[in-house]
Amino acid sequence: MVNRNLHPINSIISDCHLHSSFSGDSHTAMEDMILQGIAQGLKIICFTEHNDFDYPESPCLPADTFLLNTDSYLCTLANLREKYADKIRLLFGVELGLQPETAGRNGVYAKSHDFDFIIGSTHICHGKDPYYPGFFDGRSKEASLREYFESILENIRKYSDFDVCGHLDYAVRYAPGQDEGYSYDKYRDIFDEILKLLLAKEKGIELNTGGIKSGMHDFHPCMDILKRYRELGGEIITVGSDSHDGKNIAAHFARAAEVLGECGFQYYCVFEGRRPEFFRLR
C-alpha cells in the first residue's frame, strides 16, 4: 500500500536519476553534480549509479565497467551529505541493470545496502546493448524495438526488487531515426502487459528527460505511455534527467511538469528508504 505523504510543491524540485564518476560512463565528480544541483535550485537529488552484472565486454569496455564500488560510493556520498546538509537533501540510489540471468545476483545486491531508491532498467537485450548500432543491424527498426520491449517484460516477470522501471523505451533513443515513426500504438500489446504487471507488483515508472539532449522529440517513456499508465491507475512516477554531467541536471523539467499534468498526474514521487513521498505538481 502506498504511503501518501503529500507535499504542496509548485514545481519539480528533485532529480532522481543522476550518475557521477562512480558510474562507468561518467567522469563528473559527485561534488560537482551536487553544486550544479544547488545552483539549479533543486532541493533533493538522488544519485543512481550504474550496477550492471554481466554487461558484455567489448574492445572499448572492460567486463567490469558497470560494476559499482558501492562502499566507496556510499562513503563519498555520506561525507558530502554532511557537508551540504543545509543546502540540499542527498539520497542514495542505484540503477540496476536487469537481465533474466542476473536476477539472483541483483536480489542479493539490492539487499546488501540500505538504498533509498532502486531503478530497474533494461540496458542489455539478449547480450546486446541498443546503445550500439549493431543491435539494429539486419532487421527492421520495429522488429528490433519489439524484441527490446519483450525483454523488459521478461525482466519484470523475473525480478521485482526495484522501485520504478527506468527509461521504459530506452532503445528508441539509439534506433535509426530515433522516435520518428515510433508510437505506443505500434507496441500497445507489449506496453499494456508491462504496465499492468508493474501495477500488479506495485512498482512505478520514471519520466526520464535524457532522450531530449540526444535529439528525441519526446521523453522516456513517450507521452502516450505515460497517459496509459495513468489510465490504468498508475500514480508512482519519479522524474530524472539521467544526467552524467552537471550541465544536464534538471534539464527540461519545466516541460516534464507540463507533460505530467497533461497526462493526468497530480503528483510525482521521491523515494527515501524505499518508500515514496508524493509531491504536488503545479
Largest CA distance in the chain: 54
Q: Please return the burial class of 278, using the count of CB atoms within 10 Å of its CB with bins 0-12, 13-18 and 19+.
A: buried
Q: Mean pLDDT across the stretch 121-148?
A: 96
| pLDDT value at residue 8 | 36
Q: Mean pLDDT across the stretch 261-278?
A: 97
DSSP β-ladder status, 267-272 and 275-280: antiparallel
Angle at 241 between CA 238 and CA 247, to 5 degrees: 150
C-alpha cell at 93: 540510489
pTM greater than 0.85: yes
Share of the chain above pLDDT 70, in %: 96
Is the model's pLDDT at 225 over the cut of 70?
A: yes
Burial 72-96 (b: 16+ CB within 10 A, else e): ebbebbeebbeebeeebbbbbbbbb
- The cell 546493448 sits on which residue? 129
Residue 188 to residue 92: CA distance in whole angstroms: 34
| pLDDT value at residue 1 | 33
Is the model's pLDDT at 67 over the cut of 90?
A: yes
Q: Please return the burial class of 157, using the count of CB atoms within 10 Å of its CB with bins 0-12, 13-18 and 19+.
A: middle
The sign one gets for the Cα dihedral 108, 275, 32, 129 is positive
Q: Mean pLDDT across the stretch 245-273?
A: 95
Distances (CA, A) of 78 to 15, 18, 23: 18, 16, 17
Q: What is the total residue count of the chain?
A: 282
3-state secondary structure of 81: helix
* Cis ω before 176 (30° cut-off from 0): no
Is the model's pLDDT at 93 over the cut of 50?
A: yes
* pLDDT mean across residues, the chain: 94
